[in-house]
Structure 1
C-alpha cells in the first residue's frame, strides 16, 4: 500500500468516525433520574408521570426520564447531597431538608407561616420565592422549578374537648416527630409535645400513651387514626410543601429552550398534584364525620398569633431574613 493510499484511507476513516460521533450525539438523550419516597398511589408519585409525559410531548427525544418511587434510589433526605454529587438529576425536597443546610429557610418549617395552599403558591411563585430559591441554588446547587402542596397538618385528639385557643391544649400529650423543630411546634401550639415513632402512634392513641397527634388528613385516613380518635381540630397549623428541584449541573447544561420545557413540565406536575390533593382533603372532612369523629374549627387567628409570637422569640428566628415574616404575612 502506498503512502497516498494509506493517507486517503485514514482520512476516510476520520470522516466516518466524525459522522458516527455526530450521529451518536444527535441520537443521545439527557438522562433525568428522579428519586422520590412517594408510594405509587400517592399524588406525589403520580405527578412525576405527568412531568415525564409533559416533557416527552414538549421535547420529544431530548430526555430520558427515569422515575424511581419508594425511595428505591435514595432514601428520603439524601436527595440534595446526591444531586450535588451528580448522582441524581431531579427530586422533590422538603423545607426541612433545605433548612438543614440553609438555616434561613427554616422560616418555612414554622407554624402558620403559610395560611393555605393558595397562599403557599403566591409566596413561592412571587418575589419571596425568587429570592429564597436563589439562596437555595447558591448553597445547595439545585434549582427549584415548582412548589407542590404536601398537605395541611391538623390536630387529631383521642377524646373530645373544646379547643378554641392554644390554652385549651394545655396538658395534651401531642405526638410529634422527634426532632427539636417539630417538638418546638407542638409546644408553640400549647400542647405537651411527645416524641413517638410514626409506627407507634396508632397503639399510643389506643392505649392513651398520647392524647393526640398531628398530620395532614390523607395520612389520618391512610394510617386509620380515625379508629382510635374522636375529634379533628382543624388548626391548619402547617401548610407543608415539596419543592421540585433539578441539579444545577443539569440545569446549567440545558439550553434556554430546554430549561423552559423543564420548568413547564415541573409546573404542570405540581398543578396536577395540588388540584388532586386539595380536592382529596376537602372530601376527607366528610369522610371523618361519617366515621363518627367530631370535626371542629378553633379560633385559627388566635393560634396563628400565639405560634408566630413563639417563633419570633426563638433561636430559629435569628437566622430568618430581616423583614421576611412581615413580607410573608403581607402576601395576598
Structure 2
C-alpha cells in the first residue's frame, strides 16, 4: 500500500508539474499574438477599408488586428501623436501631418511631385523614399510600410474654355480647400484660387460663384459636380496618398518573421487598393463622357514645369533637401 501511494504521489507530482508548465506557457502563447489597433479616417465602405480587411485576414493567427475606421478611435490629424505616445500601434497617416513636425517632408505634399501612382510607388521604394522614411522613423517613432494611393486630383470647370497650359486658367476662379498650401497650389496651376467649404461647392458651381473645382474623379461623381460643369481637364496635379505606418517601437520588438508577415500583408493591401482605385478612375472618365462632358488631358508637362518653378521660388520649398526635386523627377 505504501509503495502504491508513493507511486500515486510521484505521478501526481509529475502531472502537477505538467499542469503548472502548461499554465505558465499559456500566457506566453497569448502574449505572442500581439494586438495591433489600426486607426483611419476612411470608412469601411472605402476601397481602402476593403484592402485593410484583407490585411487583417492575412495576419489572422499571428496578430489580433483591430480596425478602427471612420475616425472612431482618433480624430483626423491626431493619429501620429497617438503613435508617438504609445496609445496606438498602427495608422493611415497623411503626409501633411508628418510635414508639420518634419518640415523637409513638405516636399512630399507638393503638386506635380509624382507623375502617377506608379512613379510614387517607385519613389518610396527607392533611395529618396528610404531617406524620408528614415527621418520619420528617427524623429517621430514611425515606421512607414508604404504609400496608400487613393486618387489623383484633376481640374473640373464650368466654362467651356479649352485648357492647354497654365496661362489658359488665368482669371478663372478655381475653388481650392481653405489653407495656405491649397491656395498656393491653385496659384501654381495658373488660376485664381477661391476658398469655398466643400459642402457649399455644388451650389457655388451652380451659381457661378466659382468657375471650377479640383478633386479625384470618383469624388466629383459622388458629389454630382458633373451636373453643373462642362469639362474635366486631366491635369493630374496631385497624386493623393497616405502612409500605412506602424509604431517603430512595436516594429523593433517583432521577430524578423513577424516583420516580414506584416510587410507582405501591407504590400498586398496597398497593391489591391491601388489597382481598384485606378480601375475606378478609368470608369469615371467613361462615365463623364457618356454624360456629355469633355474629358481630356492638357499639356501636363507645361503645368508641371510651371508649378515646380513656383514652388522652388516660394518659401514653401526652403526646408526641402537640396536637389530632392530633381532626384524625384529622375525616378523612372
- 1:84-141: per-residue Cα shift (whole Å, max 9, x none)? 1111111111211111111111111111110011111110111111111000111221
Q: Distance in 2 between matches of 1:205 and 1:236?
A: 21
Q: How many residues align?
A: 320
Q: Which residue is equivalent to 1:280?
A: 280
Q: Which residue is equivalent to 1:103?
A: 103
Give 3-state SS (helix, strand or coil) of 2:265's partner: helix
Is the CA contact (8 Å cut-off) linking 1:50 and 1:272 kept in structure 2? no
- The answer to whether residue 44 in structure 2 is matched with residue 40 in structure 1 is yes
Q: Distance in 1 between matches of 2:100 and 2:271?
A: 27
Structure 1 runs of 4+ off > 2 angstroms? 12-22
Q: Which residue is equivalent to 1:191?
A: 191
Structure 1: gaps (5+ residues): 1-11
Q: Distance in 1 between matches of 2:69 and 2:26?
A: 33
Give 3-state SS (helix, strand or coil) of 1:319's partner: coil
Is the CA contact (8 Å cut-off) linking 1:169 and 1:191 kept in structure 2? yes
Q: Which residue is equivalent to 2:24?
A: 21
Give 3-state SS (helix, strand or coil) of 1:118's partner: helix
Q: Distance in 2 between matches of 1:221 and 1:65?
A: 33
Is the CA contact (8 Å cut-off) linking 1:153 and 1:216 kept in structure 2? yes
Q: Which residue is equivalent to 2:289?
A: 289
Q: Distance in 1 between matches of 2:195 and 2:16?
A: 69
- 1:278-317: per-residue Cα shift (whole Å, max 9, x none)? 1111111010111121112211111011000000111111
- The answer to whether residue 75 in structure 2 is matched with residue 75 in structure 1 is yes
TM normalised by structure 1 equals: 0.92
- The answer to whether residue 325 in structure 2 is matched with residue 325 in structure 1 is yes
Q: 1:179 to 1:21 in 2, by over 3 A?
A: farther
Q: Distance in 2 between matches of 1:121 and 1:316?
A: 24
- Once the two structures are TM-superposed, the CA of residue 22 in structure 1 deviates from its matched residue by 2.6
Q: Which residue is equivalent to 2:257?
A: 257
- Once the two structures are TM-superposed, the CA of residue 27 in structure 1 deviates from its matched residue by 2.5
Larger radius of gyration between Structure 1 and Structure 2: 2
Q: Distance in 2 between matches of 1:143 and 1:204?
A: 41
Structure 2: gaps (5+ residues): 1-14
Give 3-state SS (helix, strand or coil) of 2:318's partner: helix
Q: Distance in 2 between matches of 1:30 and 1:49?
A: 17
- The answer to whether residue 304 in structure 2 is matched with residue 304 in structure 1 is yes
- Once the two structures are TM-superposed, the CA of residue 218 in structure 1 deviates from its matched residue by 1.0
- The answer to whether residue 58 in structure 2 is matched with residue 54 in structure 1 is yes
- 1:242-279: per-residue Cα shift (whole Å, max 9, x none)? 11100112111111110111111111000000011011
Q: Which residue is equivalent to 2:122?
A: 122
| Greater CA drift, 304-313 or 61-70 | 61-70
TM normalised by structure 2 equals: 0.92
Is the CA contact (8 Å cut-off) linking 1:206 and 1:228 kept in structure 2? yes
- 1:48-72: per-residue Cα shift (whole Å, max 9, x none)? 111111222xxxx321011111111
Q: Distance in 1 between matches of 2:238 and 2:24?
A: 53
